[in-house]
Structure formats: structure tokens, C-alpha cells
């Protein structure tokens, strides 16, 4: 599956032969990657690969022919921050799309929030019958902060990767301000030591660190 961030996916024509295929080896019986030594891709309604591959497990070399459905374009409404963009994503017709599961983008990933199939919202469906996918980007999340600035507390937020860790006692750089983290709210509990990832944080509490000036 491939999709541009804010654009339309294009079919790769002509299609180049893959560098590897996942196959079951006839020699050793292992299912795994096979390096493509040479081959070509053709077909209209389906993708047909004909070539010679080498098993990465036992080194056996053999000629193979594989077939798979040609990818289709599925409408995708991708949300991020304060905007949504309509585009398409390339998928196998038999690929199952599921609400709350991830779909890969060219430069990140997204979480499916809704699926429309045959005029109604469903929890899952094969790509061939999906009329639209709604998703939100999941490679970046906003982390909310409450920052004590002496006689007042102000709200701030910082963009972070979902798995980026925030640690009690560490300093978060907000550009003009540097904030010392002293508490992290996660779910229904507050951490006064330890760490949490950006995607599980409800709010970070801290205070501004005043920079010392050299004389």
C-alpha cells in the first residue's frame, strides 16, 4: 500500500520486478523471503511475476510464477491537526480494512476511524467494497502541557512522535520556553516519577526553567 501525504496515489506503470518475495520454499519447506535474481512483471487484471528466486533460508534456486490482484484506489479522508484532505490510497482488492487499525502512508502511518461500504458505516470491509476510509495521522500527536510561570499557569502543547517518551525530571524545549517536567497525567493516575509515551499522556505538568545569563 502506498499513499502520498496530501495527494493522490498513482499506479506504478510499468511495474518493476520486486527485490524479494515471501514464498514457501519447495526445498526446505520454510516460508520466508526469497531474493529475486531475475524476473519480470506483467498482467492487466492481475499482477503476474515470472522469474528466478533464491531462498534466504537454504539457498535453493528455482523458477516461479506468482499472481495477485492488481491494486485498486480507495478514497481516503485523512485528518491531521485542524484539517482534512481527500486523497486515495492503493490497496489490494481483498485487503481487509478495520476500524482502529493502522494503515501505512508514504511518510508515516494513520489510524482508521471510520469505513463506508455500500452506503453505510461498518467496522470492517474488503477494499473492493469500501467507498471511503476516514483516518487520522498517527505518526505525530499533540501533547498538552500546563506550565507554571510564577503567579500564573498557562497552557502549551508540543508535537511529538507517539512513542516519544516524556520523563519526570527532564526538560522539554518549547522554543522560547524550557519546561521542567514534575508530573505526568496518564489515564486515571498521575506519575511523579518515571516516564510515559506521548500517545498515552493526558497532560504534562511543569514549570518554566529560567536561563542563567553569563556576566
Cell, residue 13: 506503470
Say what the pLDDT of residue 19 is: 87
Cell, residue 36: 529475486
**pLDDT, tens digit, 9 for 90 and up, residues 78-134:** 988 778 999 999 988 888 999 999 888 877 788 999 999 999 999 999 999 999 999
Q: If we measure between CA atoms, which residue out of 68, 69, 39 comes closest to residue 54?
A: 39
**pLDDT, tens digit, 9 for 90 and up, residues 42-59:** 877 788 999 999 999 999
Estimate to the nearest angstrom the gap between the alpha carbon of 82 and the chain centroid: 19
Instruction: Note the pTM of the prediction, 2 decimals.
Output: 0.56
Contact 128, 186 (CB under 8 A): no
CATH number given to 20-68: 2.20.25
Where are the chain's structural domains? Answer: 20-68, 72-137, 141-208
Instruction: Round to whole Å and give the CA distance between 39 and 93.
Output: 24
Say what the pLDDT of residue 1 is: 39
Instruction: Round to whole Å and give the CA distance between 21 and 35.
Output: 7
Contact 11, 71 (CB under 8 A): yes
Say what the pLDDT of residue 12 is: 41
**pLDDT, tens digit, 9 for 90 and up, residues 175-203:** 888 999 999 999 889 999 999 999 899 99
Amino acid at each position: 500500500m502506498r499513499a502520498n501525504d496530501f495527494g493522490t496515489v498513482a499506479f506504478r506503470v510499468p511495474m518493476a520486478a520486486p527485490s524479494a518475495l515471501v514464498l514457501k520454499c519447495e526445498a526446505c519447506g520454510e516460508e520466508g523471503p526469497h531474493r529475486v535474481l531475475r524476473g519480470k512483471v506483467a498482467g492487466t487484471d492481475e499482477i503476474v511475476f515470472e522469474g528466478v528466486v533464491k531462498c534466504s533460508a537454504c539457498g535453493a534456486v528455482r523458477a516461479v510464477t506468482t499472481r495477485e490482484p492488481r491494486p485498486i484506489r480507495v478514497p481516503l479522508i485523512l485528518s491531521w491537526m485542524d484539517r482534512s484532505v481527500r486523497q486515495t490510497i492503493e490497496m489490494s482488492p481483498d485487503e481487509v480494512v478495520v476500524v482502529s487499525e493502522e494503515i501505512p502512508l508514504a511518510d508515516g502511518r494513520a489510524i482508521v476511524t471510520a469505513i463506508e461500504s455500500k452506503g453505510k458505516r461498518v467496522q470492517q470491509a474488503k477494499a473492493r467494497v469500501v467507498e471511503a476510509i476516514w483516518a487520522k495521522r498517527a505518526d505525530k500527536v499533540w501533547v498538552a502541557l500546563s506550565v507554571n510561570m510564577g503567579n500564573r499557569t498557562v497552557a502549551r502543547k508540543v508535537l511529538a512522535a507517539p512513542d516519544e517518551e516524556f520523563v519526570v525530571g527532564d526538560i522539554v524545549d518549547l522554543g522560547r520556553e524550557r519546561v521542567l517536567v514534575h508530573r505526568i497525567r496518564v489515564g486515571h493516575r498521575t506519575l511523579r516519577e518515571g516516564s510515559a509515551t506521548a500517545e498515552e499522556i493526558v497532560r504534562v505538568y511543569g514549570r518554566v526553567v529560567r536561563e542563567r545569563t553569563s556576566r
